Amino acid sequence: MTKHKLQPDTWVDQYADYLFNYAVSRVSDTEIAKDLVQETFFAGLNSAKNYKGDAAERTWLVSILKRKVIDHYRKINSKKGKAEVRINYSSDTDAEGDWLEQQVADPYSKDGDNVLENEELGDALQDCISKLPQKQALVFSMKTIQGMSTEDVCNELGINPSNLWVMIHRARTALMGCLNENWF
């Protein structure tokens, strides 16, 4: 088997377009895709000493980019994504600002100020979940409502973590739109 050698001086000319197209197809934002490609090149330079030459240079860079895309979605989901599906029940409850789906995982919970309102919200959320594409609804329910680990959901459904976080992000966005239209 031929050992490949890194040639960082040629990366931009040889791989930038390919990596950019790969990234933009996964994040749907040209600026973020450009940043991810740049981070990929920096990470490649920083870890060049670990390159064993078993994979082609482009393959190696794509594997770095894949991790950058996954990290991007993890960051969105852990910080910015939380703001998408937040709701305040009242100012005198510990539940204020908690994830909507955590509040209504048990629609008969007495955590909300008004049990009837919480029940109605739970019903509205379940109705909105039923309108999601089947796989998206399944991923959302397993990860967010049932609390399964990312690894377990991915193994059970045969998807990768990046795909899981994209589906959850899309589900949350769709659910917030549905709830704004049908409940709030």
Single out the residue in 30, 51, 78 at which a domain terminates: 78
Residue 99 and residue 15 share a domain: no
Instruction: Say if residue 125's pLDDT is above 70.
Output: yes
- pLDDT reported for residue 33: 92
Residues 6+ apart with CB under 8 A from 142: 148, 152, 153, 156, 157
pLDDT of residue 41: 93
Residues 90 and 71 in one domain: no
Residue at a domain's end among 78, 100, 127: 78
d(CA 139, CA 141): 6
What does pTM read for this prediction? Answer: 0.45
Q: Do residues 143 and 163 make contact, with C-beta atoms less than 8 angstroms apart? A: no
For residue 151, the enclosing domain spans 81-182
Q: Is residue 3 part of a domain?
A: no
Higher pLDDT, 122 or 63: 63
With beta carbons less than 8 A apart as the criterion, state whether 59 and 51 touch. no
> Average of pLDDT values for 71-88?
59
For residue 24, tell me if it sits in a domain.
Answer: yes
User: Distance (Å, rounded) from C-alpha 23 to C-alpha 37?
Assistant: 7
| Type and span of the H or E element at 86 | none
Mean pLDDT in residue range 9-37: 91
Share the mean pLDDT of the chain: 77
Task: Tell whether the model's pLDDT for residue 99 goes beyond 60.
Answer: no
Between 182 and 54, the higher pLDDT residue: 54
Residue 2 lies in a domain: no
Residues 170 and 88 in one domain: yes
* Band (79; pLDDT cuts 50, 70, 90): low
